[in-house]
């Protein structure tokens, strides 16, 4: 399974961020072809060392890296990416990777 991991830093207005993310952006992301799942963090994000600089983490799942690339190359993905400027800080982190299940 291939994954896209998006780490959104704390926005200046968390309520507005959440409203836009859940009412608009997530619905756009769910239209991306080949997307098998979209999971998001819920509640505060912490680490063993304490608080983290992130407000929300989104995990998009695809069946393979080829499917991930096709999905991210789609018009639907372009529209969802364009929407980021409407609510998300520019310093978000995005990681693409394939996974190997060990169990």
Task: pLDDT tens for the chain, 103 residues: list them.
Answer: 999 999 999 999 999 999 999 999 999 999 999 999 999 999 999 999 988 999 999 999 999 999 999 999 999 999 999 999 999 988 999 999 999 989 9
> Please, which residues have CB within 8 angstroms of residue 6's CB and are 6 or more apart in sequence?
57, 58, 59, 60, 92, 93, 94, 95
Which are the contacts of 8, defined by CB distance < 8 A and separation ≥ 6? 17, 21, 54, 55, 56, 57, 58, 88, 89, 92
- Residue 37's pLDDT is 98
Predicted pLDDT of residue 54 = 96
Note the pLDDT of residue 13: 96
Q: How far apart are CA 103 and CA 99, in angstroms?
A: 12
Domains parsed from the chain with CATH numbers: 2-98 (3.30.70.100)
The predicted pLDDT at position 51 comes to 84
SS3 state of residue 4: strand
Q: What is the per-residue pLDDT for 14? A: 96
Q: So what's the pLDDT on residue 18?
A: 97
Give the pTM: 0.93
User: If you search the block for the tokens 């979209």, which residue do you land on?
Assistant: 38
The tokens describing 64, both together, are 């393979």
**SS3 call for 21:** helix
């Amino acid at each position: 399974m291939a994954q896209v991991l998006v780490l959104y830093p704390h926005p200046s207005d968390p309520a507005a961020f959440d409203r836009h993310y859940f009412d608009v952006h997530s619905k756009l992301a769910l239209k991306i072809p080949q997307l098998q799942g979209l999971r998001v963090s819920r509640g505060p994000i912490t680490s063993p060392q304490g608080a983290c600089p992130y407000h929300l983490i989104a995990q998009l799942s695809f069946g393979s890296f080829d499917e991930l690339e096709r999905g991210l190359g789609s018009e639907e993905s372009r529209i969802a990416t364009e929407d980021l400027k409407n609510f998300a800080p520019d310093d978000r982190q995005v990681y693409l990777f394939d996974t190997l299940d060990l169990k």
